[in-house]
Structure 1
Amino acid sequence: MTKNLEHKFSMLIREIRKEYIGNGPREITTRITGPWVICEMKGNLTNVEKFMISSKEGELMVHEARTELVKNIYKDPELVKRIEEMMNAKIVSIFTDINIEIDTAMTVFVFDESIMDKE
């Protein structure tokens, strides 16, 4: 059952990223462990962003813009509601970062109770 929920969550995150950023990650791996849902996303950068990161200034700009954009996405109450309904738990906090060099982003969703106990 966990694998199915992880897959559904990955699909929701891909949909959200496409809707808000314009393109979704090439690959998403989601793992549920207790109250944490951890998403690893590879292949996030657009062609323009890939061009921009050829300089140190561009790399810093893309990193900051991506990180802030993702943080702002999860401030949307309707979006939070969709995620919470899927997981049947309330989000306590969200941690996100991207490693520009390897084009991999990580987002950790922390819920108010164990997701695994709900299966």
Structure 2
Amino acid sequence: MSKKVHEFNDIIRKLRKELFGKGPERIHTVFVENMAVSTLYGNMTPTERFIASTPEGLQIVRAARTRMIQELYTKEPPAGMEELIGSKLLHLFSDIKIEEDVAISVFIFEDIISE
């Protein structure tokens, strides 16, 4: 794992820990052209797992996590992210599969990402 990938993952982990009270247990990120594609494993808190134990709760947790992440990044990219990548963050696409506790985030930057 390159230093840039490691630092990028640390930014994501720190932000999600602050937002949800728990960061992902593992993050795998690849840079492809102007995108950073991150797969996040072990995201949910014990409370979220409990709420998601019903079909209704599962939808609530998924919607809340997805909406919170997208709104946060829309307001302002995390501190240091654009500086690390050397480019402006244009878009974030994010989703989570609650049943398997796996999330994916695709960050689209203005310029090609160099390792």
Q: Please give the TM-score of this superposition, normalised by the length of structure 1.
A: 0.90
Gaps of 5+ in 2: none
Task: Classify 1:91/1:78 alpha carbon distance in 2 versus 1 (closer, same or farther; 3 Å).
Answer: closer
Q: Contact between 1:95 and 1:107, CA under 8 Å: does it hold in 2? A: yes
Gaps of 5+ in 1: none
Is it true that 1:6 corresponds to 2:5 in the alignment? yes
Residue 91 of structure 2 aligns with which residue? 93
Q: Distance in 1 between matches of 2:80 and 2:111?
A: 17
Q: Distance in 1 between matches of 2:95 and 2:62?
A: 8
Residue 104 of structure 2 aligns with which residue? 106
Deviation at 1:78, TM superposition (A): 5.9
Moved over 3 A (4+): none
Q: Contact between 2:77 and 2:89, CA under 8 Å: does it hold in 1? A: no
Deviation at 1:75, TM superposition (A): 2.6
Q: Contact between 1:20 and 1:73, CA under 8 Å: does it hold in 2? A: no
Q: State the one-letter code of the partner of 1:60.
A: Q
Deviation at 1:110, TM superposition (A): 0.4
Q: Contact between 1:97 and 1:105, CA under 8 Å: does it hold in 2? A: yes
Task: Classify 1:3/1:70 alpha carbon distance in 2 versus 1 (closer, same or farther; 3 Å).
Answer: same
Q: State the one-letter code of the partner of 1:112.
A: E
Aligned residues: 115
SS for the counterpart of 1:60 is helix
Residue 61 of structure 2 aligns with which residue? 62
Deviates more, 1:68-77 or 1:16-25: 68-77
Q: Please give the TM-score of this superposition, normalised by the length of structure 2.
A: 0.93
Q: State the one-letter code of the partner of 1:46.
A: T
Residue 35 of structure 2 aligns with which residue? 36
SS for the counterpart of 2:18 is helix
Percent of matched pairs sharing the same residue: 35
Q: State the one-letter code of the partner of 1:34.
A: E
